[in-house]
Chain A
Amino acid sequence: MSAGSGQFQPRRATTEPLWLRALLLTFALGFLALFLVLPLIIVFGEAFSKGWQVYVAAVTEPAAAHAIKLTLIAAAIAVPCNAIFGLAASWAIAKFQFRGRQFLITLIDLPIAVSPVIAGLSLMLIFGARGWWGEWLNEHDLQVMFAVPGIVLATIFITFPYVARELIPLMQQQGREAEEAALTLGASGWQTFLRVTLPSVKWALLYGLILCNARAMGEFGAVSVVSGKIREQTNTMPLHIEILYNEYQFAAAFAVSSLLALLALLTLVLKSSLEWRAARDLAEAEACRRPE
């Protein structure tokens, strides 16, 4: 393709002809519309298909309200636990060299690849009535399976990689000069962590937290193994959706789904704004480094 025909077009050689661009764009946007936008439209469309009153009734009836409460409780315990784990793991992995480091990173990724059903089953083999600790738990009148603690454990298992995965690459990239400088200037270890490391990873940490939260509130497979699905006792929102759906209460199932879909959309909005802030901070830091 010659670049010199007609008027001056400096980037003509490194882009495609207009018709091809239009075609590629149509295919890409069509694919995304079919797979991402249409399901979202369906969720909200079906949720309101029987009117506002049915919608409001579906999300405020006692079973739904209890499921929402249980989902919030599980996330409220799982997310902070995984945040602490994520910070500890990323500190150890990103700031130090040790044998088995790569293996440890693989281990942290495991819940993303392992089927949630296997996660639930494994927990059951430990805490269930016939599991390793079942007898002991029973003697001390502690119920883990088919109760809230089991749901929390399953949620923690499924969501623990998310904070760590956001933090590890960023901390590795930032190196350890800033921390070493702080220590040389007399800061204690905790001061260095709180005043140097934490502020520099805050946006990634926040993003990890909201992603972890979205996964925690939406976890289905692992929780469905360990919960027992007792209505108004061990039913989380995704399990409640399944029950409503199997009872052919489609409008109600989609109404509860729409709450989780809203949460997903909110997560995406927060994510974009966090990325924007992180990019801005990075630009500011670059500008500070070049004073002249």
Chain B
Amino acid sequence: MFTKKSSHKPVLPGFGLSMGFTTFYLSLLVFLPLSALVLKSFELDWAGFVKVVASERAIASYQLTFGSSFVAALINLVFGLLVAWVLVRYTFPGKKIIDALVDLPFALPTAVAGIALTAIYAPNGWIGQYFYQLGIKIAYTPIGVTLALVFIGLPFVVRTVQPVLEDLEQELEEAAASLGANRLQIFCRVIFPALIPSLLTGFALAFARAIGEYGSVVFISGNMPFRTEITPLLIMSRLEEFDYAGAAALGTVMLMISFLLLLLINALQHWSQQRHGGAQ
């Protein structure tokens, strides 16, 4: 499958060894288990498969998973651009610390994030109690799920937009200003178009990550079937009922969606690099 293009004369050694090891490792860890997953779902006939993946409970879980992931990724799109903008363009005390802190959701275990967010937004929590008095429940509702997914996806947009914004040539803005554009026009017509590919990449990454998220959501969601049950959790409960084929069927659907999203992200990144490289 992976053969070198013959046009390139091999100069460096070690292609066979490194490629062989990579292929072996990936086959054992990715191909083999994931094909077991897909094959297991084939144990169901088509009607059975549809019955599992299109059951009312499954559809409710897709709605919650994709809906809250989409909203969370949108929130991250707006605030991620804002944070990247502030980190690149402005100077303020503690900037380096805040820049480093943006990666916290990558480094903090999801279970820790989950219980901390629940402690904040539960009806008796630090912030949740005030909303509860107003009659708004945050934890154990789709709002809580969305907040957890905002936390999980926070670094993606910031980290994809930040380098592009850093490399943006200020001369272009100066040129636009000298031609009479005001600041808003410069942002909308000069800066924003240059950021679109990286914004979309960051959005897609945050969305893809949010769809599969389990650890943080499981604590804050309350896990009620039909209402606050995300799809990974539904897979988990199928497993606990020893319904392996049903779990595998749901897993296969999720896997296909994740894979398609990844292909989209790679295409976006490719586009982003070309645009970015071409501008220089």
Contact = CB atoms under 8 A, between A and B. Distances in A.
A53 interface: no
A156 B29 contact: yes
Question: Which of A16, A117, A189, A217 is most buried by chain B, counting CB atoms within 10 A of its CB?
Answer: A117
A108 B177 CA distance: 44
Nearest to A34: B127
B25 A160 contact: yes
Given A14-B173, A21-B90, A96 B4 contact: yes
B59 interface: no
Interface string A110-139: 111111111101111110001110000000
Given A122-B36, A253-B115, A257-B115, A113 B14 contact: no
B34 interface: yes
A160 B106 CA distance: 14
A42 B119 contact: yes
A136 B247 CA distance: 23
A85 B219 contact: no
A92 B236 contact: no
24 contacts: A14-B170, A35-B151, A39-B117, A42-B119, A43-B112, A43-B116, A91-B14, A92-B15, A97-B8, A98-B3, A102-B266, A114-B258, A115-B232, A115-B258, A117-B212, A157-B30, A176-B12, A214-B109, A217-B109, A218-B112, A220-B215, A221-B110, A254-B119, A271-B100
A219 B109 contact: yes
Contacts of B11: 176, 180, 183
A269 B100 contact: yes
Interface stretch (A24-32, A55-63, A198-206, A284-292): A24-32
A185 interface: no
A283 interface: no
Interface string A1-42: 101000000000111110001001101110110011111101
B26 A107 contact: yes
A29 B98 contact: yes
Interface residues of A, number: 105
Interface in A236-292: 237-239, 241-242, 245, 250, 253-254, 257, 260-261, 263-265, 267-269, 271-272
Question: Which of A91, A108, A123, A176 is most buried by chain B, counting CB atoms within 10 A of its CB?
Answer: A91
A125 B36 contact: yes
A95 B19 CA distance: 11
Given A88-B25, A122-B34, 8 more contacts: A14-B170, A88-B17, A89-B18, A98-B2, A116-B214, A124-B244, A192-B12, A238-B215
A116 B215 contact: yes
A13 B190 CA distance: 13
A107 B30 contact: yes
A48 interface: no
B251 A118 contact: yes
Contact of A14 (B1, B26, B177): B177
A234 B255 CA distance: 27
A147 B213 CA distance: 24
Contact of A25 (B86, B150, B254, B259): B86
Nearest to B259: A110
A192 B14 CA distance: 11
Contact of A27 (B3, B82, B150): B82
Shortest Cβ-Cβ A-B pairs, 4 listed: A218-B109, A115-B212, A122-B33, A13-B177
Given A119-B33, A122-B36, A221-B215, A92 B19 contact: yes
B232 A118 contact: yes
A271 B154 CA distance: 18
Contacts of A257: 109, 111-112, 115-116
B88 to A, nearest CB: 11
Given A36-B104, A121-B235, A220-B111, A98 B120 contact: no
A114 B90 contact: no
B64 interface: no
Nearest to A93: B22
A32 B83 contact: yes
Contacts of A214: 106-107, 109
B30 A110 contact: yes
Nearest to B273: A169
